[in-house]
Every structure is written in C-alpha cells, then in structure tokens.
Amino acid sequence: MWNSICSVCKSENIVIDTLGGPCAEDLQDDRELRPLFDSLNQLGSVPWKINGPLLDFVIEVFTNQDRHGDILSRLSVPRHQDMLVLPKIPPALQKKLEERSMDKSDMEEYNRFLAEKVAFNQFKSETYSNWCDTLYRLSIANHFR
C-alpha cells in the first residue's frame, strides 16, 4: 500500500539479533525495548503527514472489504483470508474418487487440483501476512493522525 523509504541515520540504539560480545548482558536486561524498536521501524515506514480523509477512506475499504471488493486490488489493499475462495474439486472427479474408478487422465486432473490447492494455501498464507501488516500500519497511522 505504501512504499517505504529506507534512510540510514546514526543511532545509539542498536538491536543486535545475536547475543554475543561485550554488550550481551545489557541486552538481556532490556528485552522490553524490542517491541519499541519494532514499533519505531513500522512508524518509519508510515508517511509522516497523514491525509485524514484518504486514511478514513482506506480504513473504510480495509474494514468493509465485502462492500468494496471491486476496488481492493486497485488500491493495493490486501484481502482478508476469509474473502478468498478455496478451489473445489470438480463434481465428476469427486464422484470417480469416491468410487475409486479413476483412470490415468483423471489422476492427472486430480494432481492438477492438488497442486492448485497447495498454491492457494500458499497464496492465502501470504495474503494474511500482508493483511496483518496493513492492519498494523493503518492502526499506527490512525493513532498519529
């Protein structure tokens, strides 16, 4: 939804992922700072001058996706995972599968269906991750409007 701009600035607050070296003891005592740094990283990717009416519109579209489904992709607003439709096995193939009377072409069609289902689950997972990230960013933007 927003393009972030990375900037490099000198800072005395540095997060080190691996606890090694002379300051390991200090970092273990300051674990409550990690959420603060995460929030600051997200805040850094949110535009500082927030357009209130535009933010209200995006929040409306984001929270009421069933009413605004036609413009979600144009606004780059990720869909909630509940709005995605799982691919269904064709009824004729389902019947053959239950009867256990599948020939080679039916097996190929069933394998294609399984691959499509795996791809869908991957897409659903990625979409939910994007949705959660957008929810977090919209919450921060709304808080600092």
Question: What pLDDT is stored for residue 75 in this prediction?
Answer: 84
CA distance 39 to 105: 53
Place of tokens 């393009």: 3
Q: How far is CA 142 from CA 46, 53, 137, in A?
A: 11, 11, 8
Q: Which of 59, 19, 35, 42 is nearest to 140 (CA)?
A: 42
Q: Render pLDDT for 19-41 as a digit per residue (tens, 0 to 9).
A: 455 444 555 546 667 777 777 77
- How far apart, in Å, do the first and last CA atoms of the chain sit? 17
pTM of the model: 0.58
Question: What pLDDT is stored for residue 104 in this prediction?
Answer: 87
Question: What pLDDT is stored for residue 47 in this prediction?
Answer: 61
Domain edges within the chain: 50-143
Question: What pLDDT is stored for residue 12 in this prediction?
Answer: 53
Question: What pLDDT is stored for residue 140 in this prediction?
Answer: 82
Considering just the CA atoms, what is the radius of gyration of the chain in Å? Answer: 23
CA distance 58 to 63: 9
The parts of the chain modelled with pLDDT lower than 70 are 1-32, 46-48
Question: What pLDDT is stored for residue 9 in this prediction?
Answer: 43
Q: How far is CA 34 from CA 28, 31, 131, in A?
A: 11, 6, 22
